[in-house]
Chain A
Amino acid sequence: MLEIRGLTAEIDGKPILNGIDLVVPTGEVHAIMGPNGSGKSTLSYVLAGRDGYQVTGGEVRLDGVDLLALAPEERASAGLFLAFQYPVELPGVGNANFLRTALNATRRARGESELDAVQFLKLARAALRDLAMADDMLKRNVNVGFSGGEKKRNEVLQMAILKPKFAILDETDSGLDIDALKIVANGVNALRRPEFSALVITHYQRLLDYIVPDRVHVLAGGRILRSGGPELARALEESGYAGLGLEALGESVS
């Protein structure tokens, strides 16, 4: 279970998150929607522990563990995963090598045994099969020369292999055509199970047709302004943020 209470954060002294309260029970998928500048990406970076984002108050717990006290790599070992909006290229670093290094680092941190190359390959191939992805994904360098869709699929592949307890998908749908969107959504859905939960951050309702959330939250001005079921996302799509009377706050931070 992820619990966020009274979370405030700023960048260069400028407040971006102004008191977020959010609970995602284990096994559920929640969506966060909001206009540009509402603090969606900041929330995902703060949860993952990126430098340059100062937390000024509140707390974040994953299954009781105080995430804010941990370094980014420790949060990963604790079971947190961030699928990046803009996945980063690592020239010369093979995807398989990267993933095995990452998997073994988190396994080591949890006191589990490391996987050798053969064991890893078996696991990775199974994940590729589940996601209907080609084997050459492992041979290529991390995100180098990948199309937008391939980068996002690679994020989902990493997630499938690292098997986090809690995943944040930061605008994973941005820049995807409808076919790529379906592949990515199927990949996420394949991971849904009682011990997995996720926060899907998106600009559009579209993704939520494929990854149907248990709850939808509307973020604006660095606060959760409204929460509801999947129907809230559809209402937003039809009437826009303004239609829901959220315009003023949405604009105040943009």
Chain B
Amino acid sequence: MSARIEPRDPIEAATEGNYKWGFETAIEMEIAPKGLSEDTIRLISAKKDEPEWLLAWRLKAFAAWRETCEPEWAKIKHPPIDYQDLHYYAAPKRKPGPKSLAEVDPELLATYEKLGIPLRERAILAGVEGAEEATPVAIDAVFDSVSVATTFRETLAKAGVIFCPISEAVREHPELVRRYLGSVVPAGDNFFAALNSAVFTDGSFVFVPKGVRCPMELSTYFRINARNTGQFERTLIIAEEGAYVSYLEGCTAPQRDENQLHAAVVELVALDDATIKYSTVQNWYPGDAEGRGGIYNFVTKRGACRGARSKISWTQVETGSAITWKYPSCILQGEESVGEFYSVALTNHHQQADTGTKMIHLGANTKSTIISKGISAGRSNNTYRGLVRMMPRAHGARNFTQCDSLLIGDRCGAHTIPYIESRNPSARVEHEATTSKIADDQLFYCRSRGLSQEDAVNLIVNGFCKDVLKELPMEFAVEAQKLLAVSLEGSVG
């Protein structure tokens, strides 16, 4: 497969905004034929040397998928997706399983360098303003369908932490994968989760044993490269009793005219007193200023707070994708368990985001916090959709929700759709919502102090998002701020 470079209209290029991650890597790929059938699934399973139980699980998911329809309740519009016109497996050609970074294709390493994700084992993101000292971050890099490198594995292993591609976990730790896979998001949970369960190719696996505090941030960097290929990654994170882990994922894709499908599933399990902090900086290609191209991002993320006093905290900064359909949720089963959802969703041009969370309170004295900041610019549509459900046994449970929307310009839309169900009279649910526009007097005030119009908008937007950005690990908060600035380009003036 070769990269084509075509001359582009300079005006178009200038008005498109700067998606700096839109390059394509020319690398030899192994690609399965288009189309989805049991044979495709058998092929994927065979490629990955999977045990029989996993193939059976995939086939069951596929059967469930065929029985379900694409959900239609979200406030998004797109032409029908032809699921038979996609490739379901694409992998860089290589010798089976590189044992070390030295064996990874240099072209791939160069790609990640270009993305600012050095896969060498050293403290990354050094020199970031405000960071006292750069902490090392272990990275799993997933390129199209496969994991190409995982760093710092030995250091982590010493602490007892398993961090590896999920395909490898299936081979090396089958008992763990079998126990937890699909235990939070069942194979047939919804249309996109079923699709993922049938065809997922890789993703990250994290296991933090009892009493261990993971010694470094874990991070997975997803990159879609191949054309007409769906990306279906699967992430499974388990924190045993008293364990702590902070995990971050980043995502980019080349700039292309056609739409590309991404349907991931993430499952988190927290046992007694465990904490999982999961942060996402989602920057899939959003499409151009006219709404051509971009990733369709249909993602199911769910965490189960199984143990007492366990805590799962989702933080997401969503700036990319033509369509975002994503509701990271918490099932608060253990007594006094805590669920948190901090979200910034920014849409510009013709982007559509329908995102939010579900907090399902099962246990007594469970607590959840939802802070959602939606920013709409251009002709985009941004919807917060959230469910807070207090079940009969959730005595003394509490939720606080705050949804703020910021509009830039007068052709975009912001929508807030909160669902609240309470079946326990002692549970307390609070919901606050605001919608505002960046006011002319705010812009003028900033400009009169010397800030350009764009800097002023960035400053105001960053201020608006502060409550969420402060939840991100410091280095990534700085990255996220820059990302918001880039995503807002061309939204004013």
Residue numbers of A with Cβ under 8 A of B are: 48-51, 71-73, 75-77, 81-82, 84, 87-93, 97-98, 101-103, 105-106, 109, 116-117, 141, 158, 162
Contact = CB atoms under 8 A, between A and B. Distances in A.
Nearest to A110: B450
B462 interface: yes
Contact of A102 (B440, B442, B449, B462): B449
Interface string B415-440: 00000000000000000000000011
Interface of B: 129-130, 439-442, 444-453, 455, 459-460, 462-467
Contact of A93 (B129, B448, B463): B463
Nearest to B469: A92
B463 A92 contact: yes
A73 B447 contact: yes
Nearest to B449: A102
Contacts of B464: 91-92
Contacts of A98: 446, 449, 459
A106 B453 CA distance: 14
A73 B462 contact: no
Interface SS of chain B: helix, strand, loop or mixed? helix
B240 to A, nearest CB: 37
A72 B444 CA distance: 8
A76 B450 contact: yes
Contacts of A76: 447-450
Nearest to A106: B450
Nearest to A91: B463
A151 B440 CA distance: 19
Nearest to A72: B447
11 contacts: A48-B448, A50-B444, A73-B450, A84-B445, A88-B445, A89-B442, A93-B459, A101-B451, A102-B450, A105-B451, A162-B449
B463 A73 contact: no
A91 B452 CA distance: 19
A77 B445 contact: no
* Most chain B CB inside 10 Å of its own CB: which residue of A72, A76, A84: A72
Contacts of A89: 442
A92 B452 contact: no
B445 A105 contact: no
Given A71-B447, A101-B451, A141 B130 contact: no
Contacts of B459: 90, 93, 97-98, 101
A190 to B, nearest CB: 20
B447 A90 contact: no
B440 A51 contact: yes
